[in-house]
Amino acid sequence: MQISSALNSGLQGLQQANGIANRAASDIAQATTDREEQGETSSDLETTETVNKAQPASLTQSAVNLKVAEAQANASADVIKTADKNLGTLIDVRA
């Protein structure tokens, strides 16, 4: 594998992790906002209970997605560090 290819793979991984984290954060914010709005505007207790039961699963999945994004970002950063280290070693050998 070429060094530039490894660097590109690491960068793409970081960008994907950023996208996943942004979507998960947005989902969490939206679920929290929806839950607050439903609690304030709904006079029907059953509707409020249904909304409240549905939200934890969505919030849980979004929290899991944030952790997945964190792990992906860490792995991608490790790929970039390794490629950088190898590039430095190659430069030292050629010098």
pLDDT, one tens digit per residue, over 35-88 is 667 765 545 445 545 545 555 678 899 999 999 999 999 999 999 999 999 888
The residue among 87, 74, 75, 70 whose CA lies nearest residue 5 is 87
Domain spans, the chain: 3-94
- Spatial separation of the C-alpha atoms in residues 65 and 22, rounded to whole Å: 10
> Could you report the per-residue pLDDT of 2-34, keeping only the tens digit for each?
667 999 999 999 999 999 999 999 999 998 887
Threshold 0.85, pTM exceeds: no
* Amino acid 21: pLDDT: 97
